Amino acid sequence: MQEGWCRTVLGCGVLWSSCVQAQPTDEDTLALIYGNQRSVSIATGSQQPIRRAPAVASVITAEDIAAMGAVDLDEVLESVPGLHVGRSANSYNALFAIRGIYTQYTPQTLVLQNGLPTAVLFQGNKISLPLSYPVENIARIEVLRGPGSALYGADAYSGVINIVTKTAADISGTELGLRAGSFGTTQAWVLHGGKLGEADVAAYLDLGVSQGYRRTVDADAQTRNDAAFGTHASLAPGPVHTQGRHLQGQVDLEWQRWRLRVNLRLLDRYGEGAGVAQSLDPVARISFDRHSADLSWSDAQFTRDWSLSFGASHLYFGQRLPVPLLVFPAGTTFPTGSFPQGMIGAPETRERQLRLWVLAGYAGFKGHRLRFGGGHDDLNLYHTHETKNFDFAASGLPVPLPDVIDFSESAPFLMPHRRRVSYLHLQDEWQLAPDWTLTAGLRHDRYSDVGATTNPRLALVWDARYDLTLKLLYGSAFRAPNYTEAYSISNPVARGNPALLPETIRTAELALSWQAGKGLDLGANVFRYRMKNIIRAVPNATPGTGSTFQNTGRQHGRGVELEAGWEASPRLRLAGNLAWQHAIDDTTGRDAGHAPHREAYLRAEWRSGLGWMASGQLNRVADRRRTAGDTRPPVPDYTTLDLALRTERNAGRWDFALSLRNAFDADVREPSFAPGQIRHDLPMAPRAVFLQASHAL
């Protein structure tokens, strides 16, 4: 009788937490009443409903991506509250800035693919993901906003992005696809899911080429040099160079409790964006080779109370320059000499990352779910190679050499370096009461070169009512210095410092998740953080001797994020979010700069009932300030509108999609970092149209 009363009140939408304690906490029941319950694993390492996850997290599914009409990863991530995708001048690499933490390479955001890090050792950036990352093989994307080092270790600082690729369960048979559109873009792919003997197999192959968009930079770093030294060498006004071609493939094999994934990603002859020195470079071509493999074993019922998994992964990454960098163009002149052919350089790297891990779960204590883990990483930047036609004077200015010389043995930009990391972590999910859960975690990382760090997390989750969940969160995180910051040896502008300590951050959050009605989900969270030991290049005491990386910066910030999703009818779905943040550089007392203070996003999806679907999304980015010492006006605000029209997916026939990006051709700019180097910032893509056809066999 009590259960029946509770179900009646559930249907009316007025049940309070006292009744929740008396009725079963069945997610399937809530799903029937309020719609599908999305789940997430990034918050604890195990699958659980997103509204009860002890973190502020977002999940984007393959269906969401298709509805957006998105053609690459960056477009998808812009839909996440508080996450902004910027660009660096160098190769136009993506910068995933979360909650206002925005630096030159943004290594403070950890990007995973199937739970494994993608960062490059050299600068800690995501150089293996430049320009675009195709979305056809993505099953879901999980984003954790806030610290995640208690689970994921280094770089899980401002947030974590996990790209989960498709398995045999996500692919039925074989799918062929072709896309063509603006900027000379052509892409073809094939997906297959099925059986290979007793094993489930998923395979993916993707080929693409693009001439890139050619938005104009009217003044660059060489423009400034020309004004200072009376030359006329700058190639500005001129276009950025974003062309390139790629080959990407994956094989996923699952047999009983074993899983093997093999990945290949070749990025060939990519342009240099706005130039490695923020001086236009029309000639350089960069190639990136990335291949990886991981083997894992998992048993959710190893014994009655224990689960167990372990695995190993290997990643190779290499950077080559088929055509060397033009650091500054022909005719460049400094007081130390002239460069009739331009300043030419070709830094190349190769690295191997080997990772071993083991995880165990124990549920033998009533009300507790324990998780133990440990592992070892061997991170080896084993090869560096550099040729160039310049050296540096004691003043820090370049000195011309008679020819291009190989400095690999004598004075390269960085000598090979190997780092070893061992770690242990413990987590307890404690069900204090039927509607209260306390998650406590601790991870200890020990580095062979930068010492040890320990990072805790606490999360108290309260199901205040059947439709309302509150979360109180606290955690710390760290970022270890990358190899450039610690070990650069021949760059007089910013020399490495092997005595560096990791950057640290402490964050407190309060979050609310409310199922306000059938098909209506609302969320809100507020956060505060404080960063210490920020690594920055500090001028040396002796004038003219450049800078050295030091632990000198401090920053604090706060913000609010609001989001909503509404199934207005079986045919109409609306989703949107608002984000506000404010970050202060404690060293200068000024705004930390670059990141938007305000962001707004709105998406509408409409199914016609006749076999096709239309969608539109509006993205507003506003209030981006400059850093101290940069006297330029604030970075201009912008609003973009994207539209998409597609047929519903059906096996045995062709499906089509039409995507219009930046429909009103807004002049989108991302901030250039060095004051005045690229005076009017980095121009982004103009209006673009893409037509896609796919066939499920």
AA letter at 221: A
Which residues, given as ranges, of the chain have pLDDT below 70?
A: 1-37, 127-132, 492-493, 541-546, 650-652
Nearest in space to 38 (alpha carbons), one of 619, 439, 567, 591? 567
Please count the other Cβ atoms lying within 10 Å of the Cβ belonging to residue 189: 20
* Bridge partner list, 172: none
Phi and psi, residue 544, nearest 5° = 80, 5
Cα–Cα distance between 460 and 437 in angstroms, integer? 6
Query: How much is the pTM?
Result: 0.92
Extract the tokens encoding 662. 């930046």
pLDDT at 3: 38
- C-alpha atoms less than 13 angstroms from C-alpha of 38 in its C-beta half-sphere: 20
Chain position carrying tokens 């009316």: 12
Alpha-carbon span 22 to 574, nearest angstrom? 34
pLDDT at 538: 84
Note the pLDDT of residue 22: 33
Residue partners of 422: CB distance under 8 A and separation at least 6: 374, 375, 376, 377, 445, 446
pLDDT digits (tens, 9 = 90+) for 604-654: 999 988 889 999 999 999 999 999 889 999 999 999 999 999 998 765 688
> In this predicted structure, what is the pLDDT of residue 17?
31
- What is the predicted pLDDT for the residue at 648? 81
Domain boundary assignment for the chain: 35-696
CATH superfamily placement of domain 35-696? TonB-dependent receptor, beta-barrel domain (2.40.170.20)
Q: In this structure, what are the phi and psi dihedrals at residue 180, rounded to the nearest 5 degrees?
A: -145, 150
d(CA 644, CA 573): 14
C-alpha 337/C-alpha 331 separation (Å) is 10
Task: Describe the crossing of helices 27-34 and 2-12 by its angle, rounded to 10 degrees.
Answer: 30
